[in-house]
Structure 1
Amino acid sequence: MKQGLYNNFYKYLVDSFDKKQAALTYIESANLTEKRNEAFSIFKELGFPTRKYEEWKFTSLAAALKDELQLMIEHDHSLINTNRIHSLDAVHLVLVNGRFAPELSDVLPEGITFYDTQATMAEIRFEDKISTLATEDDAPMLALNTAFFTEVSVLEIAAHAIVEKPIHVSHVFTVNDIAEFVPYRMLVIAEKHSEATIIETFHSDSLVHPLFVSYVCEQEIHESAILNTHMINTLPENAYFVQHREVFQYRNSVLNNSNIALSDVTLLRNDLNFQLKDVGTETNLIGAYILTGDQHVDNHTLVDHQSPNCNTNEVYKGILLDTSHAVFNGKVFVRPDAQKTNAFQQNNNLLLSDQATVNSKPQLEIFADDVKCSHGSTIGQMNEDALFYLQTRGIGEEAARKLIMQSFIFDVISKIKIESLQDYVSDLLNKKLNTENLTVA
């Protein structure tokens, strides 16, 4: 029995596919065209996921899809705010609605190469990589992206390159005149013995009409490479953002990833999959979110230990107020050959309203016997002893509550190693805590 959502937008997409694909046939490889057709067949059959899907049990897309969404049209971005972090000494790359904007971007340093859509399609060695790491057999939103993306870029870090400056990829979305759907992709390749930092921010000044973004990022981290990645979502209300990230790690590689949501985005869904393909890998994951109003944030993480002697450490923290809703589903999978695995996972939440909801589900699936694995989840309220202590020191109740919330989240933010980026995220935290509608029930 079909469980998907088959609404007007679904019908619009199904009716649009053949015409859209006909326009792309001449610029993309036969291999990619075949992948698109397969993905479209999957989406056409499954439809949009509903809560009847186990992986979408606590997240509904019905509100995001109720408007008459249309595929993205071209916008003038000559006066766009590129969300440059002025205190950050970084190389700036700007994508506007998924399309590279060279006139708004910096020149890349030696060791880093960026390929826009045209260059990516023309480079034969990327043919077998695009839409290959992330597969969509039972993932309708990933299949939707594969079928309909038009913009795709590649960020490649050369072998043995040590890139000192962070690369700030600014994903900017323009103010829209209609409700729009923006699907696009990026492939990141960190060649062996390389080291780099990539900061991704997602930003729009304001949205008149709903914006639905589907973003897929595939990453390869090769032997002994170190890749630091930061995802910072600053999207406003009326934005619906669904991300799928598929990461392949190879022998002795290291990935440090932060996932920060301190914005007013209406709905945010992150599907973050990390496949530890070879021995000696290290994966460190941190996340933070503060939700107000009726915001909904869903973080699904999967760390798949496929080889021995690998280490993972994951800590996510969130604060919920008003009628907001958070979902954390973190799975650590240890395969039979992945002996000597060391994996830790923790999700902590402060629930500060009787109407807010948290669904937290840390999971371990272990099929090896020589491992050290632990996981945990906590959902609690404000520490009244700490609150009383601060008040006895002359701090008002409202200021004391905000100070406790700040301290709770800063435990994650403090793990960001770049001082100016940490300051930027701290400013986002303070801005969120100082909003006029911030109330504690």
Structure 2
Amino acid sequence: MDRDDAHDPIHQIRKKAFSKFLKTGFPTQKWEDWRFTDLSHLEKQSYQTSNGLDDPLTTTDRSAYKMEGVETIVIHNGHYQKALSSHHNGIRVLTDPKHINERSDQIKMTADDPFDLLNTAFMDSCLSLIIDRNINLTTPVRILVISSGIDPIMVSPRVYVDMNESSSATLIEHYLGDATSTFQNSSLFFSIAENSHLDHIRIQSNPVSAHHV
């Protein structure tokens, strides 16, 4: 996705979200829900946004993170890597900007969550994973999110999982990488229709230098 395309309807949503974030700021320990969490380090560190042209095969060794018996959708530095991904016919993976624009009303800004506002403003890619009606996926689907690079980086993938009526699936979020410093600010949304079922698993294999929200 082109963050600078002023003609894209998403661009106005980005601007609105960032303006709202500037007013809200990061949570502080004065906020009731964050009183035990110190996030001041995020304001002290400078992060660059990711580059969609990065090649994960030359920057990160994924061999230690192979997982048998799963279909894998790869996101590197926030950007969907179609050539490295595999998924069966039961899932539709949509990235077309036209589809994203049609779903722009689902880029929620009703809650003043600063991290969701920041993700909306800087989203690197926006995927829709759609499981059709009456589809029961027996093979788990893994979203493999890789962060790499020598400079501190902020990555902001945004994923919608739409499960239609009477469907079922297992979804694994797997985060890993060797970036010097990462601010991992992902947003994941679920729409689960009647009689559908989803098992959701999250695995964090990032180094201690990563900040994952």
Q: Is TM > 0.5 for Structure 1 vs Structure 2?
A: yes
Q: Does 1:77 align with 2:56?
A: yes
Q: Which of residues 134, 150, 153 in structure 2 aligns to 1:177? A: 150
Q: What one-letter code is carried by the residue in structure 1 that aligns with 2:145? A: H
Paired residues for 1:112-131 under 5 Å: 112-116=91-95, 119=96, 121-123=97-99, 126-131=102-107
Q: Does 1:217 align with 2:195?
A: no
CA contact (8 A) 2:72 2:141 kept: yes
Q: What one-letter code is carried by the residue in structure 1 that aligns with 2:138? A: E
The CA distance in 1 between the partners of 2:98 and 2:49, in whole Å, is: 24
The Cα shift of 1:54 comes to 1.5
Larger fraction in strand: 1
Q: Does 1:60 align with 2:38?
A: yes
Specify every segment of 5 or more residues in structure 1 that has no aligned partner in the other structure, as ranges. 1-19, 243-441
The CA distance in 1 between the partners of 2:105 and 2:132, in whole Å, is: 17
- Cα deviations across residues 2-42 of structure 1 (Å, max 9, x unaligned)? xxxxxxxxxxxxxxxxxx85x2333x3x2x33432321221
Q: What one-letter code is carried by the residue in structure 2 that aligns with 1:84? A: K
CA contact (8 A) 1:72 1:182 kept: yes
Aligned to 1:43: 21
Q: Which of residues 165, 168, 171 in structure 2 aligns to 1:198? A: 171
Q: Does 1:105 align with 2:79?
A: no
The CA distance in 2 between the partners of 1:178 and 1:110, in whole Å, is: 38
Q: Which of residues 117, 120, 145 in structure 1 aligns to 2:119? A: 145
Q: Which of residues 96, 107, 119 in structure 1 aligns to 2:76? A: 96
Q: Give the count of matched residue pairs.
A: 208
The Cα shift of 1:126 comes to 4.4
The CA distance in 2 between the partners of 1:130 and 1:196, in whole Å, is: 22
- Cα deviations across residues 204-255 of structure 1 (Å, max 9, x unaligned)? 1x33x3211110001100010011111111111110011xxxxxxxxxxxxx
The Cα shift of 1:182 comes to 1.3
Go from structure 1 to structure 2 and tell me whether the alpha carbon gap of 1:33 and 1:181 turns closer, same or farther (over 3 Å shift).
Answer: same
CA contact (8 A) 1:42 1:137 kept: no
Q: Does 1:239 align with 2:210?
A: yes
The CA distance in 2 between the partners of 1:167 and 1:151, in whole Å, is: 18
The CA distance in 1 between the partners of 2:124 and 2:144, in whole Å, is: 18
Tell me: higher relative CO, structure 1 or 2? Use CA pairs within 8 A at least 6 residues apart. 2
The Cα shift of 1:77 comes to 1.6
Go from structure 1 to structure 2 and tell me whether the alpha carbon gap of 1:110 and 1:125 turns closer, same or farther (over 3 Å shift).
Answer: farther
Runs of 4+ off more than 4 Å? none
Q: TM-score, normalised by structure 2?
A: 0.88
Rg larger in 1 or in 2?
Answer: 1
RMSD of aligned Cα (Å): 2.0
The CA distance in 2 between the partners of 1:195 and 1:129, in whole Å, is: 25
CA contact (8 A) 2:123 2:157 kept: yes
The CA distance in 2 between the partners of 1:84 and 1:103, in whole Å, is: 16
CA contact (8 A) 1:168 1:198 kept: yes
Q: What one-letter code is carried by the residue in structure 1 that aligns with 2:24? A: L
The CA distance in 2 between the partners of 1:159 and 1:225, in whole Å, is: 9
